[in-house]
Amino acid sequence: MNLLFVVLIPFMGAGLAAWMAGFGRLQSAWMAGGVTLTALLVLLPAAAPSFIGETVIQRVPWMPRLGLDLVFRLDGLGLLFVLMILGIGLLIILYARYYLAERDSMGRFYGYLLLFMGSMLGVVLSENLILLLMFWEMTSLSSFLLISYWQHREDARIGARMALTITGLGGLALLGGFVLLGEIAGSYDLSVILASGAAIRAHPLYPPMLVLILVGAFTKSAQFPFHFWLPHAMAAPTPVSAYLHSATLVKAGVFLLARLFPALSGTTEWSVLVIGTGLTTLLVGAYFALFKHDLKGLLAYSTISHLGLITLLFGIGTPLAAVAGIFHIINHATFKASLFMAAGIIDHECGTRDMRRINGLWQFMPYTGTLAMVAAAAMAGVPLFNGFLSKEMFFGETVTFSASHTWEWLLPTAVVIGGILAVAYSLRFIHDVFFNGDPVDLPKTPHEPPRWMKVPVEVLVAACLLVGMLPAYTVAPLLDMAAEGVLQAAPPDYDLAIWHGVNAAVLMSIAALIGGALVYAGRRPLFALAAQLEGRLDAKAVYDWVLKHVLASADGVTRGLDSGSLQRMMLVLVLAALTLGTAGFLSAGAPLTGDRALLPVDPVSVLVAVALGVVAVWTVILHRRRLTALIVMGALGLLISLIFVKFSAPDLALTQLSVEVVTVVLLLLALYFLPQHTPTESDRPRRIRDIAAATLAGVGAAALTWAVLTREYDSIADFFLANSVPGGGGGNVVNVILVDFRGFDTLGEISVLALAGLGVYAMLKDLRLPGPTWDVRDRPWNWDMHPTIMAALTRLLLPLTLVVSVFIFLRGHNLPGGGFIAGLITAVALIMQYLANGVEWTHERMKANLHPVIGLGLLIGLLTGLASLVLGYPFLTSTFTHVHWPIIGDFELASAIAFDLGVYLVVVGATLLILVHLGLMHDASHVDAAATQRPRSG
Amino acid sequence: MEALIALIVGVLTACGVYLALRGRTFPLVLGLTLLSYAVNLFLFVTGRLTVALPAVISEEAAGYADPLPQALVLTAIVISFGMTAFLIMLALKARAELGTDHVDGQRGGSGPR
How far is A343 from A433, CA to CA, in rounded Å? 10
Quote the domain boundaries for residue B74.
Answer: 2-50+65-98
Contact A861, A899 (CB under 8 A): yes
Which secondary structure element, helix H or strand E, spans residue A222, and what is its range?
none
Of B6, B68, B78, the CB nearest to A720: B68
For residue B81, tell me if it sits in a domain: yes
Is residue B42 in some structural domain? yes
- For residue A422, count other CB atoms closer than 10 A to its CB: 27
Q: How far is the alpha carbon of A820 from chain B, nearest alpha carbon, in Å?
A: 8
Q: Say yes or no: B91 contacts chain A, CB-CB below 8 A.
A: yes
Give the Cβ contact number of residue A520 at 10 Å. Answer: 21
Q: What sign does the CA torsion over A494, A498, A501, A506 have?
A: positive
Tell me whether residues B54 and A690 touch, CB distance under 8 A.
no
Cα–Cα distances in angstroms (integers) from residue A347 to residues A144, A233, A238, A850, A928, in the given order: 23, 16, 9, 57, 63
Residue B31 counted as domain residue = yes
Residues in CB range of B34: below 8 A, 6 or more apart: A616, A619, A633, A636, B12, B15, B16, B19
Percentage above 90 pLDDT, chain B: 53
Q: Quick one: pLDDT at residue A504?
A: 86
In a domain, B77, yes or no: yes
Residue A307 · residue A222 · CB < 8 Å: yes
Encode pLDDT of A852-880 as tens digits.
Answer: 899 999 999 888 888 877 777 777 777 77
Alpha carbon A589 to its chain's center: 45
Asked if A622 reaches chain B (Cβ–Cβ under 8 Å), the answer is: no
Residue B60 in any domain: the answer is no
C-beta separation of B13 from A701 below 8 A? yes
As a whole number of angstroms, the distance between CA A246 and CA A303 comes to 8
Residues of chain A contacting residue B81, judged by C-beta atoms under 8 Å apart: 659, 662-663, 666, 911
Residue of chain B whose alpha carbon sits nearest to that of A742: B71
The stretches in chain A having pLDDT less than 70 are 1, 535-537, 775-776, 781-785, 848, 882-892, 926-938
pLDDT of residue A722: 87
At A56 the pLDDT is 86
- The number of helices, as runs of H, and strands, as runs of E, in chain A is 39, 4
**Of A309, A311, A245, A251, which Cα lies nearest the Cα of A282?**
A309
Q: Is the dihedral of CA A64, A68, A69, A70 positive or negative?
A: negative
CA Rg, chain B, in Å?
A: 19
Complex-level ipTM beyond the 0.90 threshold:
yes
Q: Do A670 and B92 touch (CB under 8 A)?
A: yes
B98: contact with A, CB 8 A cutoff: no
pLDDT at A594: 84
Q: Between A698, A764, A770, which is nearest B14 by CB?
A: A698
Q: Touching check for A132 and chain B: CB below 8 Å?
A: no
Q: Residue A890's pLDDT is what? A: 64
CB A32 within 8 A of CB A19: no
Which CATH number is B41's domain given? 1.10.287
Determine the 3-state secondary structure of A498 from DSSP.
coil
Beta bridge partner(s), residue A68: A63
Angle at A33 between CA A31 and CA A38, to 5 degrees: 90
Integer angstrom CA distances of residue A743 from A150, A228, A711, A739: 47, 52, 30, 5
| Residue B88 forms part of a structural domain | yes
Whether residue A759 lies within 8 A of chain B, CB to CB, comes out as yes
Collapsing DSSP states into helix, strand and coil, what is residue A715? Answer: coil
Give the H/E segment covering residue A522: none
Q: For chain B, how many structural domains are there in total?
A: 1
Asked if B30 and A633 touch (Cβ cutoff 8 Å), the reply is yes
Does residue B12 sit within a domain?
yes
Q: Does the predicted model carry a pTM greater than 0.90?
A: no
Intra-chain end-to-end CA distance of chain B, in Å: 47
**Is A673–B92 a contact, with Cβ atoms under 8 angstroms apart?**
yes
In a domain, B110, yes or no: no
Q: Does B59 touch chain A (CB under 8 A)?
A: no
- Give the tens place of pLDDT for each residue, A617-655: 999 998 888 889 999 998 999 999 999 999 989 999 999
CA pair distance B12, A833, nearest whole angstrom: 33
The whole-angstrom separation of Cα A934 and Cα A928 is 10
Q: How many whole angstroms from its chain centre is CA A698?
A: 42
Identify the H or E element spanning A69. strand A68-74
A925 and chain B in contact, CB less than 8 A? no
Of chain A residues 689-728, which have a CB less than 8 A from chain B? 690-691, 693-695, 697-706, 708-710, 713, 715-717, 720-721, 724-725
> Which residue of chain A has the CA closest to B16?
A694
